Structure 1
Amino acid sequence: MMTKWKPELLAPAKNLERLKVAILYGADAVYVGGQKYGLRARADNFTDYDLKNGVAFAHEHNAKVYVTLNAFLHDEDFQGLGDYCQFLESIGIDAVIVSDLGVLRVVRKSSNLNIHLSTQASCLNASAAELWKQFGVKRLIVGRELSVEETGLIGEKSGIDVEMFIHGAMCMAYSGHCTISNFTAGRDSNRGGCIQSCRLPYELENQEGNPITFMSSKDLWGVHDIEAFFQHKICSLKIEGRMKSSFYVAMTCKAYRQLIDAYTEGKITPELLNKIAGNLESIPHRDYCSGSLESPADSETVFGQLFGNNRGTHEYLGIVIDTTSDYLAIQLLEPLTVGDEIEIIPPQGQIIDWKITQLFSVTGERLESIQKDSVVCIPRVDIMQNINKLTVIRLSRQKTVSQPELVTHS
């Protein structure tokens, strides 16, 4: 069955490169953080100059940009917020994401920016949604404790757009309200300082003496819930991961773009779902689960393994940074050797399998191998003619997973 309506695909962007990658690989919108007021203080985050360029690139490609102002601010944190909102409005930001009522008030007093309510605000019912709507909120990013069906009912009853997380890391705290990092690292999780202390493997001193993890969640994916997103009119499907690589951004955007478009055209098949799932297995992730999308999260969503924090079937090799009619220039994140097999992943179309037979330096010197963090050139053959800048490439060989240190607490 075909349908004309389709949800927005919303992707994370740590920096300008990832913003461009997300949009080229199919995102309808991206969410980014500025230098202040957001919950990812350790991300690169966008300077004012980068924001201007990012908005220009997005709008040229019919995409939108949302800026996170979702930290819970103390009084001393408000300095300059009004001026910043005016700046965001002046460059054409499409919406800001807020959690705090005080921040919302400043946004409304100082600008005409559209306001989206962060998942941190824990909006879980239609009554709250109606109240937020009266405060000027245009969209709800609902708490991750809700199912797709519950979220759809909130949207229907309140008459407000609803957005859900469909992929990525999940927090064991209620809607992200956590203070573990405050105590373990002196960083306020709710003011942008979360260091994901819960994801470390702890060793408890108990009678059995077995090391366990107990606060860490599996990762979310909504591959098998695509029909429910359409049926319940979830207006925006959001990928988590503002700290993640361009490889992660590209693969998740490509996967969910394919999924949304295929459902719209009535072309969802088991083979397509398996293909999309396989590509999502290639990126760094923990075991996948559906979280609370179908029913309330339970013990099955706990990630109980000590190791394997960055499971993925493939290694991220690098990204194309320039092209000529004869060569692709690749910024490497891993070493590369003649004889290696790579997979070039274009934004549209099939993945290109290629065995490296020749490598060249940027000055044209023939190479047998080259170390990571270098730029290397490979010949651009006929099947690569549609490959452009910001195309990601992965190694065919499987990656080796490192084992983290145990953290012991009595």
Structure 2
Amino acid sequence: MTDPLSALEAAVQALPDDRTLRVRYAELLADAGRYGEAIEQASVVLREAPEDEAATAVVRRAALAAAAPPESMPAAAPPEPAVAPPTPAPSDRHEDIDWSELEASIANPTEPPFVERVVAEHDEELVAEAAETAEDADPVAELRRETVRLADVGGLEVVKRRIDESFLQPMAHPEIAAAFGKKLRGGLLLYGPPGCGKTFLARAIAGELGAHFVSVTLSDVLDRFIGESEKNIHRVFRTAREHAPAVLFFDEMDAIGAKRSGNTFSSFRNVVNQILVEMDGVDSQNDGVYVLAATNHPWEVDAALKRPGRFDRMVLVRPPDDDAREAILRVHLRRRPIEGIDLGDLVRRTKGFSGADLEHLVTTAAEKAMTESIRTGSVRPMRMDDMRAALKEVKPSIGPWVQTARNVAEYSNASGEYDDMVEWLREEKQL
């Protein structure tokens, strides 16, 4: 009669991918006391299918049986004859077993999906420290020092004066501010048309304060997993506190801090709630942290963020005035070959252009000069003809914003928070 083990061995060799057959072969090997071979065959199955319960059971059973003391091992042979053969020494009986492999198999035959550890009370501080270290290893936002100053901002004298009087001077004189009960913290919301230098102004404020600059956008804090967005908000505030004095700057605040009443996504509402908690920090934990934000649409920012103690000061960043437009045009023309450029004429023709519009204007004119230079094979400098041709193509982009601002000024300014915008619209004869 054919030995079942031999038959199964031949079948496994013929069908090496049949896991059911290989598990059955491992079971018979374990029944026969050939534990090392049983573990080897079951392990082949577990490498392909770690969840196979039958193979796991074979590994456990064979490993435990092989590791048991010799006297407790079950007899695999039939009843002993009248004259029993001499019992081999344990070392002879299991000389074919890899004990290191068996020990590892008994401890953890398959890799677990999760690793759990009970934390003792005296380990809690170490765990918290490790968690903070892990967070710092992957910072949410970049921390840097700014060298830009308000003097580097061309024009916008009215805006710079308001920022200096309402924000920078109290921060620069902490003793006087403290005498009047002013804490070393602040929230300032810069708003105005897109492309008019709000981010550059925030950098200049950080430079004036000699503070670290932490810039945060929606993509830095928003996370698809529940609770992670709030953690990211906490991490950027913690970074600013640890490196105080620091300017924490939220760009596009109408996206990060949108009105909770009109937001159907809980993630966005929770982000606003977390910002409120961090800005209302107890005691003095926010001392030396100056929270700035920029937005094109302040009327879309949650009202709670604009209450006293938060972003309670708002400054309109107007489109560049004559001096600012001249400075911006000089910057963008400075490193290009130019000839006969009439800056005064360009400044008059670009009233209502944003800083981004002016950059686009110069780039468009440069492309025209470059195209002709490539055609002729020699560099031809930019001239006023190129600028005039570009002016026919590039138009001010702030028109839609002005229309929205006009509606807000007429119908949504009962509290007076947009008075500076109303004043500007009247000056520009837009209201």
TM-score by length of 2: 0.22
Larger-Rg structure: 2
TM-score by length of 1: 0.22
Of Structure 1 and Structure 2, the greater helix share is in 2
Of Structure 1 and Structure 2, the greater strand share is in 1
